[in-house]
Every structure is written in structure tokens, then in C-alpha cells.
Amino acid sequence: MKKFNKIAIVGVGEIGGSIGMDLRKKRLAKKVVGIGRRKSSLLKAKKVGAVDEITLSLEKGVKDAEVIILATPVFKIVELGRKLGKFAKEGAVVTDVGSTKGYIVRNLEKTLPKRVKFVGSHPMAGSEKGGPLSARRDLFKDRICFITPSPRTDIRALASVNRFWKSLGAKLVVISCEKHDRIVADISQMVHVVASSLVLSNKNSLKYSSSGLKDTTRIALSDPKLWKDICLTNEKEIVKSLDRFVETVKSFRSALTRKNTKGIRKMLAEAKSLRQGISQ
């Protein structure tokens, strides 16, 4: 496969760092440059082998890069994406890893100069821990990566971004931003709200928790700064997902108050069977 030239990663946390590690170990790029705001994070990323070079300067970092990956929280993706328009070379391909796509794609397509080609992406990977020390190899292997082209997307840039994620082993799902934001509200974003709500509504009993509650609320350990951005940029879809979920809880509640044995068993059995349909 053709090697990428210089690749710049803006934000060397768990996702950015894991991308860099794979690129380097698989020798997919001639040079991987990590760009960040804090020297301490950049040094950690360098130490774990996620990048070849580090810099605090966006201008220096993205200069001459063939591919630029924005791997920061959502609002920062838009802010830094706008800035790098000035510095990126003619034909540079820019992508991101943000969990909300409509907001990011809309804003960056509006502001990036024509010579820079933006394509949104969202790899479904990463833990609640975050940070460069959580970066690891093969994080994206066999994981879904959504690619969200729009009518304005450059076809060659789309092909590059597809090739990029495929080379990291991801399973590509190419869909519109709108559809992405609906799906991810369902399977990820509203689930975070539910997990956090479970913790908050049970604060007095938490000390008795067993593994069930612990697993169910693990994602409530995620970074509030990161998730606040996600919540605020896809709030309409999250609210729709939550409303559907609350309706389901209410059906359950009603089966409980009516002591409806058949109804309760049916809901539990259907949930079990659907859950068995996805891997562990």
C-alpha cells in the first residue's frame, strides 16, 4: 500500500495517540507529528511511541502534512479546524474523530478554504480513561468507523480517509451526518446520560454496588469536558433517544404495577434475545 507522507495529529489523547502508534508500528506514514496544548501530554505521547515529533505550534505541526487528524473534544475540533485552514498545504486532507458529526462537518465545510479537503469521521473506540497513557495498538481493529461525507465532499479526499481508517483495521460505515447523529445518539450518547443518571439517582446506595451496577455505569467515568461538548452539539437527537427510552421504562413500570407476569417476562426475554444478537 502507498505510504502516507507526513501525518499531523492534533490532540494526542487516547484516540490521537492510538492512531499515531498504529501509523508508526505499521509504517504507514513517513512521519507522524503530534500537536498539543500541553508539553506534558506531548512528551507522554512521544514516550509511549505515538508520534515521531511533537510541537505546541499548530502552524508548524500541520505544515506540509498530507493528512491532518483532529482528535480533540468537539468544540476544539471546530476551533482548531478553522485555524489550520491558513497553514495547511494545498490539497491537504483533514479529518476528525468527533462523536457528533453534523455540527463539525457543517462548521468546517463553511470555513475551511477550498484547497483543504475535509471529510468527517468517527471511530467507535476508546475507553472512559482517556489521555496519551491510555493509547494502545490496534485500538481500531475490527471496530466501526463512521465516515460522513456530504454533497460537498471531495471524492479523492473521501477515498484517502477511507484508506486511512482501513489501514488501521477499522470497519467502515459510510453514511450521512444526519443518520450518524441519530444512530450515535441511540447507541452511545444517550447511554452516557442514562449511565450518569443511574449513578446520580442511586447515590445513597452506591456503596453496596455489585458488578452489575459497576458495569452498567462504567461509562459514567468518562471525561465530563469531552462529553459536555458532545451533549451540546447533538442535543436534539439525544433528547429523542431519551424520550423513546423513557417510554420503554414506563411500559416496564406499568407491567410491574399491574403485576403482569407475562408482560414482564416478555420484555426481559426480548431484551435478552436482542442483546445476544450483538457480541459480548
Among the listed ranges 37-45, 61-69, 102-110, 264-272, the one in contact with a copy of itself (CB under 8 A) is 264-272
Nine-digit cell at 156? 479523492
CA dihedral sign of residues 118, 185, 272, 126: positive
Segment contacting a copy of itself by CB under 8 A, of 55-63, 113-121, 130-138, 185-193: 185-193
Told to check if 158 binds a copy of itself by CB under 8 A, we report no
Residue span binding a copy of itself (CB under 8 A) among the ranges 58-66, 106-114, 130-138, 190-198: 190-198
Tell me how far apart the alpha carbons of residues 172 and 178 are, in angstroms, rounded to a whole number. 17
DSSP calls for 145-177: EEEE--TT--HHHHHHHHHHHHHTTPEEEE--H
Residues 6+ apart with CB under 8 A from 90: 115
And the C-alpha cell for 205?
Answer: 446506595
Q: Within positions 203 to 232, which residues make up the interface with a copy of itself, using CB under 8 A?
A: 203-225, 227-228, 231-232
Question: By C-beta, is 59 or 178 nearer to a copy of itself?
Answer: 178
Least CB distance from residue 205 to a copy of itself, whole Å? Answer: 4
Judged by CB under 8 A, which stretch of 31-39, 51-59, 112-120, 179-187 contacts a copy of itself?
179-187
| CA–CA gap between residue 45 and residue 49 (Å, rounded) | 6
> Which residues 66-125 are close enough to bind a copy of itself by CB under 8 A?
124-125
Question: Closest CB to a copy of itself among 159 and 187?
Answer: 187
Q: How far apart are CA 91 and CA 220, in angstroms?
A: 40
Q: Tell me how many residues contact a copy of itself (CB under 8 A).
A: 85
